[in-house]
Structure 1
Amino acid sequence: MTHSSLSTVRAHFPALQPTADRQPLIYFDGPGGTQMARQALDRMTGYITGGMANLHGTFPTSVATDALLDEARQAVADWLGCQAREVAFGANMTTLAFSIARGLAGYLQPGDEVVVTELDHRANVDPWVTLAQDRGATVRFIPVNTETYTLELENLAHIITERTKLVAVGMSSNVTGTVTPVEQIIRRAREVGALTALDAVHAVPHLSIDFRQLGCDVLLCSAYKFFGPHVGVAVVAADLFEKLAVYKLAPAPADIPHKLESGTQSHEGIAGLLGALEFIESMGAGATRAARLRAGIEAIDAHELNLAHDLEAFLRAEPRVQLYRAPAGTRKTPTLAFTIAGQNSREVAAWFARHHRMCIADGHFYATTLVDKVGVGAQGGWVRIGLAPYNTAEEVHQFKAALQAFLHTHE
């Protein structure tokens, strides 16, 4: 990205604009939630100020709300390569995952098996583990290699067996950035007739995804990770969705996707989600919205990875820094987790915030199995930097100088 084009990108984010009484922070906390694009904000305020309403009415604002949700579903479908009727909205990814897990209760019997991974955020572990426990099924884990921070897939045929009914895996780690070759896992699951659920929360801000091509059954993500508000998105394959026995009110719609959307949704949030996709679309070119969205993500990814390569080389060269990142040749998102010898990660992050106005996260990031496997709990977990399309080479340079100052003053 050129300096001028990057300035154009940054202009889309109100939080990055200086005001008379403050300079903007440096936001390195994208994996925890990106800043909101102006298109998302404008869509939200436009819906609110234009007149809010509930669904299925005959009056203009209700009709407009119905149309908004239809438009948002179709935009997500264009983006993720699915059908609009396979797209459901909810409070967040975790809530949707638990709802889907409850709906699959009749699918599992005692003695069946559910497979999850040691690398994942617990939002794509605990809903399925809870389901297994409720149904008397067994839980098996795909192990993580603690030297490469990748999943060990060599024995996949012995982990996913004829007894497996569900496999849940993350597309990309929210700690190490590792992009898992989920196609291999999905292929094995399909061989034994098992369902697959993908956590794409950390993947969709960086990777172009095609739900149909992947061949999975469930895909989950959250708009606040891709420049929008706090709204969850579930894509459920139509054939499974039709059979899903969700908990719902008796008078509520029983058709898909509405039966998964219990209660009144955040219509203003869904408007913001649509605006976030409009920002991504503005980053790309093409004859269709789907093509522009795909090109937009690819442009974002290219910019972020260029910065990440520079940052990764710097962190690997610091002897007191332990970087938890897969080796060269493994696909990764621009998320880098590290620890500093002898330092508590929370105190490190607080130092950067206090002295350099940098938003850098710390903790376990809900990847608690990985915490235990690599033994970082005593240090307060990791320090994590995640890059977004609005980050600049100058900000990365400032971080490198700040880290060197920290190491010098904490010898």
Structure 2
Amino acid sequence: MKTTEAAFPIEAVREQFPALQRTYHGKNVAYFDGPGGSQVVKTAIQAIAGYMERGGANLHGSFPTSWETEEIIANAKGAVADFLNVGVNEVAFGANMTTLTIAIANALGKQFNEGDEIVVTEMDHRANVDPWLLMAKDRGLNVRWIKVDTDSLVLDLSDLHEVINEKTKIVAVGLASNAVGTIVDIEPIVKRAKEVGAIFAADAVHAAPHVPLDREKQGIDILLCSAYKFFGPHIGIAAIRESIFKDLEPYKLVPAPSYYPDKLETGTQNHEGIAGIEPAIDFFASFGEGKTRRERILSGLETIEAYENRLAKRLREGLRAIEGVTLFEAAADMPKTPTIAFQIEGQDPAEVCKIMAEEHSIFIAAGHFYASTLADRLDINKTGGWIRAGLAPYNTEEEVDRLIAAVAAL
């Protein structure tokens, strides 16, 4: 059902997340660690348990549990196809986004020659940097960086035509910063990549719960995300454009399938985890309207984001009003996920997180969150990194106010 911002059914939403029943030191836990991994919706948990209770099996068997496993995988890929606007045969699953990216980078590297170039950014999680750097080192490729403007916390595209040039083969960019929440304007980067015939690879792990994803509209060639960031299990997801996927040669066992997408899915997959993907995606659709699941997903995301952004505004304003608190964020007119990074003067971030847990039952995290290049550029690693609070549709105004009051008490 479609809901307005004012009528967001927060109590009904919270009932769908069993983890919210947890208490710590006698208080209900407030989860603000969603950017590191969201809580899992009940329907996904039930699907995972149900698969295991009915009896699991490997693929290509001549018996019902094998057929059911194949059907679950097909249904999950159908849901991902609707979520990302890709073809079902372009979807592959893996242990996580990092593992899939390493495999894809190694496979693509076979097509490149010494002296070719790749482009990565200073904003990204290292999972969308190091796999490409390792491949470049192995193949003798040169690396260029899209720098971050440390004042505005957006990518500096002033020299984009020099960074992405006729030698560029891969451009890897995150759609949103998992550290400071900046949503990246990829349109000019994609346009330039296409001008020189480069492949555009997008890390959507942090963006997926917050930003509508459309491979076709956004011009992305390789799109990666992880279900555990959007209320599902720990499963990595890759959607690779068919024209690229068909020529990809991943490392695999000799008897394993040589056709896509199976050739990227090395070994026996996490079938029970895959069973939880479709329910996690259907959670978004449950908030929306439309004739197709794709339409309902987009509509549902819009509803969820209106609610999350309202909470984020409340949290940012509350933290900003506290003396000694510094927020790391792009300008107010720049789109951001509901992820807030901050520091407190004179306080070690890890110690702050311990106090939040032990005294207030608030779960937040500290560190560089693998966005270590950005952390180095901002010179915050010397002081323990950021404190990061991320909002999800199961968070409440009361929890936001609890966090603000707890920070003020420091």
Aligned to 2:315: 311
Q: Which amino acid aligns with 1:46?
A: G
RMSD: 1.4
Distance in 2, Cα, partners of 1:234 & 1:49: 28
Distance in 2, Cα, partners of 1:112 & 1:65: 42
- Of 354, 357, 364, the residue aligned with 1:353 is 357
Please tell me whether residue 5 in structure 1 is matched to residue 9 in structure 2.
yes
Aligned to 1:367: 371
**SS, match of residue 401 in structure 1:** helix
Distance in 1, Cα, partners of 2:6 & 2:332: 26
Distance in 2, Cα, partners of 1:310 & 1:144: 27
Aligned to 2:80: 76
Could you list the per-position Cα deviations for residues 226-247 of structure 1 after superposition, in whole angstroms to 9, with x for gaps in the alignment?
0011000000000000000111
Determine if contact 2:103/2:250 at 8 Å carries over to the other structure: yes
- Of 250, 255, 273, the residue aligned with 1:251 is 255
Aligned to 2:213: 209
Distance in 1, Cα, partners of 2:15 & 2:285: 16
Q: Identity of aligned pairs, percent?
A: 51
Aligned to 2:327: 323
Give the alignment of 1:9-20 within 5 angstroms. Answer: 9-17=13-21
Distance in 2, Cα, partners of 1:281 & 1:393: 23
Aligned to 2:151: 147
Distance in 1, Cα, partners of 2:8 & 2:132: 46
Determine if contact 1:108/1:132 at 8 Å carries over to the other structure: no
Determine if contact 2:128/2:174 at 8 Å carries over to the other structure: yes
TM-score (normalised: structure 2): 0.97
- Of 44, 63, 66, the residue aligned with 2:67 is 63
Could you list the per-position Cα deviations for residues 191-244 of structure 1 after superposition, in whole angstroms to 9, with x for gaps in the alignment?
001111100000010011111111211010001000011000000000000000
Distance in 1, Cα, partners of 2:297 & 2:26: 34
Q: Which amino acid aligns with 2:269?
A: Q
Q: Which amino acid aligns with 2:118?
A: V
1:403–1:125 Cα change, 3 Å: same
- Name whichever of 152-161 and 22-31 sits farther off: 22-31
- Of 23, 29, 32, the residue aligned with 1:28 is 32
Question: Structure 1: 5+ residue runs without aligned partners?
Answer: 407-411
Could you list the per-position Cα deviations for residues 327-376 of structure 1 after superposition, in whole angstroms to 9, with x for gaps in the alignment?
01111000000111121110111111111000001001001111110011
Aligned to 2:56: 52
Aligned to 1:197: 201
Q: Which runs of 4+ in 1 moved over 3 A?
A: 1-4, 18-24
Q: Which amino acid aligns with 1:311?
A: L
**SS, match of residue 246 in structure 2:** helix
Per the TM alignment, residue 56 of structure 1 is displaced from its structure 2 partner at its CA by 1.0
**SS, match of residue 221 in structure 1:** strand
- Of 109, 114, 117, the residue aligned with 1:113 is 117
Aligned to 2:305: 301
1:192–1:20 Cα change, 3 Å: closer
Q: Which amino acid aligns with 2:333?
A: G
Distance in 1, Cα, partners of 2:89 & 2:55: 26
Determine if contact 1:113/1:163 at 8 Å carries over to the other structure: yes
Aligned to 1:158: 162
Determine if contact 1:34/1:227 at 8 Å carries over to the other structure: yes
Determine if contact 1:17/1:23 at 8 Å carries over to the other structure: no
Corresponding pairs, count: 406
Aligned to 1:385: 389
Distance in 2, Cα, partners of 1:247 & 1:22: 50
Distance in 2, Cα, partners of 1:289 & 1:207: 16
Distance in 2, Cα, partners of 1:21 & 1:131: 47
Q: Which amino acid aligns with 1:85?
A: N
Please tell me whether residue 277 in structure 1 is matched to residue 274 in structure 2.
no
Q: Which amino acid aligns with 1:292?
A: R
Distance in 1, Cα, partners of 2:287 & 2:362: 26
- Name whichever of 100-109 and 72-81 sits farther off: 100-109
**SS, match of residue 355 in structure 1:** helix
Q: Which amino acid aligns with 2:266?
A: S
Could you list the per-position Cα deviations for residues 84-131 of structure 1 after superposition, in whole angstroms to 9, with x for gaps in the alignment?
000000000000000001101222211111100001000000000111
1:404–1:21 Cα change, 3 Å: closer
Give the alignment of 1:252-267 within 5 angstroms. Answer: 252-267=256-271
Distance in 2, Cα, partners of 1:168 & 1:155: 16
**SS, match of residue 104 in structure 1:** helix
Per the TM alignment, residue 23 of structure 1 is displaced from its structure 2 partner at its CA by 4.8
Distance in 1, Cα, partners of 2:183 & 2:339: 11
Per the TM alignment, residue 316 of structure 1 is displaced from its structure 2 partner at its CA by 2.3
Please tell me whether residue 128 in structure 1 is matched to residue 115 in structure 2.
no
Aligned to 2:407: 403
Aligned to 1:236: 240
Aligned to 2:380: 376
Distance in 2, Cα, partners of 1:291 & 1:230: 25
Q: Which amino acid aligns with 1:263?
A: G
**SS, match of residue 238 in structure 2:** strand
Q: Which amino acid aligns with 1:270?
A: I
**SS, match of residue 206 in structure 1:** coil
Determine if contact 2:27/2:361 at 8 Å carries over to the other structure: no
Distance in 2, Cα, partners of 1:20 & 1:303: 26
**SS, match of residue 243 in structure 1:** coil
Could you list the per-position Cα deviations for residues 23-47 of structure 1 after superposition, in whole angstroms to 9, with x for gaps in the alignment?
5310000100000000110110111
Aligned to 1:98: 102
Per the TM alignment, residue 17 of structure 1 is displaced from its structure 2 partner at its CA by 2.4
Determine if contact 2:147/2:155 at 8 Å carries over to the other structure: yes
Q: Which amino acid aligns with 2:384?
A: G
Distance in 1, Cα, partners of 2:82 & 2:322: 43
Distance in 1, Cα, partners of 2:22 & 2:156: 46
- Name whichever of 32-41 and 208-217 sits farther off: 208-217
1:375–1:107 Cα change, 3 Å: same
- Of 175, 178, 183, the residue aligned with 1:179 is 183
Could you list the per-position Cα deviations for residues 150-184 of structure 1 after superposition, in whole angstroms to 9, with x for gaps in the alignment?
10012111110111110000000001100001121
Aligned to 1:222: 226
Per the TM alignment, residue 19 of structure 1 is displaced from its structure 2 partner at its CA by 7.9
Aligned to 1:409: none
1:357–1:208 Cα change, 3 Å: same
